[in-house]
């Protein structure tokens, strides 16, 4: 009787294992466990924050099965801080696994800054890229406030404390101060491109006047490594990652709100694309 129970238990256990195997087989998970992976991270719209991208890059780094990372970029750039943080993280990750950047319709200014950190950059011939430069936005409401009879009184601790206030124009001294800061941030961009692309800094300065470049011209100037689309970038990522078979593509799981879906329907990646720029420096191309 004891042997019969053990036999029934064994058969039941084997049956459960087979059921689980069949379930996983239907879902494809058994094969995916054996398949090597490429992590695909999409950077779309204005780069206002780095938090989500950094978290996703970290997850790709920690996944042993992911042998390469592919950045699919379609962005006009964004804030200086966020662009620099993502650039720095990509540089760090490429020490452990290769990173390939695939430039879509637009990958300009801060978006190109991010792409620079990749091992290889691919762009379509008609991709809009480059725009190596910095911009800062101010809104001067002084004349409007005067017309509607509103006065603003400011008490401050230093002559520069309310620099950039929308309630008055900039003084010559403030313009000089901000221009100096802007030039410094611009120099950081130039150095990043020179370092990442292994180009003489003087060569980078020649085109670092904010001009847009086509993917074809960027290739000629050695700002990108190859002309090609997403599939070409996958091929390069596969080669650099030493992947022999057909890789599985892994995309981060992002929460998609109704608002984001509506904005993407208008060709915008985020709410920030519609809003005026916040106070600060931007690596961005406006169109």
The string of pLDDT tens digits covering residues 57-110 is: 999 999 999 999 999 999 999 999 999 999 999 999 999 999 999 999 999 999
- The average confidence (pLDDT) of the chain is 85
Lowest mean pLDDT among 3-7, 33-37, 176-180, 251-255: 3-7
**Where along the chain do its domains lie?**
35-284
Q: Tell me which H or E stretch contains 13.
A: helix 2-27
* Helices 51-62, 80-93: inter-axial angle, 10-degree rounding: 10
CA–CA distance, 235 with 248 (Å, rounded to integer)? 13
Neighbours of 138 (CB within 10 A): 15
pLDDT of residue 256: 58
Q: 35-284 adopts what CATH topology? A: 2-enoyl-CoA Hydratase; Chain A, domain 1 (3.90.226)
Q: What is the pTM of this model?
A: 0.81
- Token look-up 């017309």 returns 147
Q: Quick one: pLDDT band at residue 259, thresholds 50, 70, 90? A: low
DSSP state of 125: T
Give which of 247, 270, 223, 256 is closest to 97, Cα–Cα.
Answer: 247
CA–CA distance, 102 with 229 (Å, rounded to integer)? 7
Q: Quick one: pLDDT band at residue 147, thresholds 50, 70, 90? A: confident
Does residue 13 or residue 59 have the better pLDDT? 59
Contacts 24+ apart (CB under 8 A), 202-210: 204/132, 207/130, 207/132, 208/132, 208/133, 209/132, 209/133, 210/131, 210/132, 210/133, 210/135, 210/285
The CB-side HSE value for 192 (13 A sphere, CA atoms) comes to 29
Does residue 44 or residue 254 have the better pLDDT? 44
The string of pLDDT tens digits covering residues 180-222 is: 999 999 999 999 999 999 999 999 999 999 999 999 999 999 9
Query: Which positions are annotated as active-site residues?
Result: 109, 161
pLDDT of residue 287: 65
Strands 66-75 and 226-227: unpaired
Residue 129's φ and ψ, nearest 5 degrees, are -140, -165
pLDDT of residue 29 exceeding 60: no
pLDDT of residue 164 exceeding 80: no
């Amino acid at each position: 009787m004891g042997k019969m129970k053990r036999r029934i238990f064994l058969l039941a256990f084997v049956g459960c294992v087979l059921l689980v195997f069949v379930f996983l087989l239907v879902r494809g998970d058994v094969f995916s466990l054996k398949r090597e992976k490429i992590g695909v991270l999409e950077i779309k719209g204005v780069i206002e924050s780095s938090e989500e991208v950094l978290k996703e890059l970290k997850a790709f780094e920690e996944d042993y099965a992911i042998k390469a990372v592919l950045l699919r970029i379609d962005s006009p750039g964004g804030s200086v801080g966020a662009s620099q943080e993502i650039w720095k993280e990509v540089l760090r990750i490429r020490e452990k696994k290769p990173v390939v950047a695939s430039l879509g319709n637009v990958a300009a200014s801060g978006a190109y800054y991010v792409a620079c950190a990749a091992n290889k950059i691919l762009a379509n011939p008609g991709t809009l890229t480059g725009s190596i430069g910095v911009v800062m936005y101010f809104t001067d409401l002084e004349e409007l406030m005067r017309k509607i009879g509103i006065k603003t009184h400011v008490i401050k601790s230093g002559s520069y404390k309310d620099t950039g206030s929308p309630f008055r124009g900039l003084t010559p001294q403030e313009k000089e101060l901000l221009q100096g800061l802007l030039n410094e941030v611009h120099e950081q961009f130039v150095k990043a491109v020179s370092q990442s692309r292994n180009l003489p800094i003087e060569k980078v300065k020649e085109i670092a006047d904010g001009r847009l470049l086509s993917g074809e011209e960027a290739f000629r100037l050695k700002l990108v490594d190859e002309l090609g689309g997403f599939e070409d970038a996958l091929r390069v990522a596969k080669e650099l990652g030493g992947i022999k078979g057909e890789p599985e593509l892994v995309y981060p799981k992002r929460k998609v709100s109704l608002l984001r879906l509506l904005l993407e329907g208008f060709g915008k990646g985020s709410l920030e694309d519609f809003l005026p720029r916040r106070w600060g420096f931007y690596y961005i191309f406006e169109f």
